[in-house]
Amino acid sequence: MSDTAAEIASQLAWIAVDWGSSNLRAWGLDKHDHVIAQAGSDKGMLSLTPDQYEAELLHLIGEWLPGSGQIEVIVCGMAGARQGWQEAAYLPVPTRLDQLTQGAVLPTLAGAQLRVYLLPGLSQTCSASSHSDVMRGEETQLAGLVAETPAFSGLACLPGTHAKWATLESGAVTQFTTYLTGELYQLLAHQSVLQHSVGSDDLNDPACHDAFISAVSEINDAPETFSSRLFGLRAQDLLDGRLPSGKARAAVLSARLSGLTIGLELAGTCHDRPNGEPITLIGNKELCHRYTLALNTIGFQTQHLEGDVAVLAGLRLAHKALKA
């Protein structure tokens, strides 16, 4: 054991883990909830069978552990899915985000060094006012909001492959909706006829910026034109002499495709919504900046919480709830 590892082991109070579909990240925390160690791997839920989780976790954080005693590990994300380590059944909304541990499950472990809590996701069943929906992992990022402001009320958006929009009231999720935005963009950009027309955009470039916000605005005004505007990108590439050529052309068309997919999401979620309180965006800076541009275009203000900060704050809140 290295000196550093010995120092970590002497101070370690508990471990926080965000275990997603394609990777996991672990943080070692001291008794003041300060991060004293970090580790990660690409052994996400999709590459593990249930009997491999404990070994993978020990492989990653084994060096942090003290010689004796049991360390609590709070895990959020896909490790708690049916096809993960062990299922932590969805909690139905409304759910208070400081009470996620009430749905936690403790998988049986081979060793006695760890006590693992798998946090549940949230579910919403179909009713007059809402559709069937699920989230797993994002609830812990939302709990990060509540860790900062216990009675948080407002609208939060977590952009991504499956973007989530959640309504919070006094620290509870009351309703949420998932949009396939990121996945739609990836499929269209890389696997459809549009792959011949689009490349990578850069919203700092004025032509990309303008193409992006025009597309957001057009789809927000007329969401029924989404599917024809997609093919329109291909036609524009074939016909439009005003577009730049080469990579600059592909960049502008990418920005437009991004604007169409994000714009469709915003049309869905912001339709008929008064633009008063700012919308809280949780995620990485670059993607949240893109959403801010889009939301500003249709008259909404935003504030930003970094995704890593949010998930760690949510895991801390869950750990505190265990002690209460």
Residues that bind a copy of itself (CB under 8 A): 90, 123-126, 131-134, 162, 177-181, 183-184, 187-188, 191-193, 223-232, 234-236, 238-240, 261, 264-265, 267-269, 271
For a copy of itself, the closer of residues 154 and 268 by Cβ is: 268
Phi first, then psi, for residue 23 (nearest 5°) are: -160, 175
Task: Give dist(CA 267, CA 253) in Å, integer.
Answer: 20
Q: How far is the CB of 104 from a copy of itself (least distance, A)?
A: 20
Torsion, CA 197, CA 199, CA 204, CA 207, rounded to 10: -10
For a copy of itself, the closer of residues 62 and 94 by Cβ is: 94
Residue 225, SS3?
helix
For a copy of itself, the closer of residues 112 and 238 by Cβ is: 238
Sort residue 283 into left (φ over 0), alpha (ψ -120 to 50) or beta. Answer: left
Q: How far is the CB of 74 from a copy of itself (least distance, A)?
A: 24
Residue 103, SS3?
helix
For a copy of itself, the closer of residues 39 and 142 by Cβ is: 142
Task: Give dist(CA 23, CA 41) in Å, integer.
Answer: 6
For a copy of itself, the closer of residues 204 and 245 by Cβ is: 245
Residue 32, SS3?
coil
Q: How far is the CB of 20 from a copy of itself (least distance, A)?
A: 14
For a copy of itself, the closer of residues 229 and 249 by Cβ is: 229
Q: How far is the CB of 153 from a copy of itself (least distance, A)?
A: 22
Q: How far is the CB of 133 from a copy of itself (least distance, A)?
A: 5
Sheet of strand 91-92: strand arrangement: 91-92, 122-124, 133-135
Pair 141, 310: CB distance under 8 Å:
yes
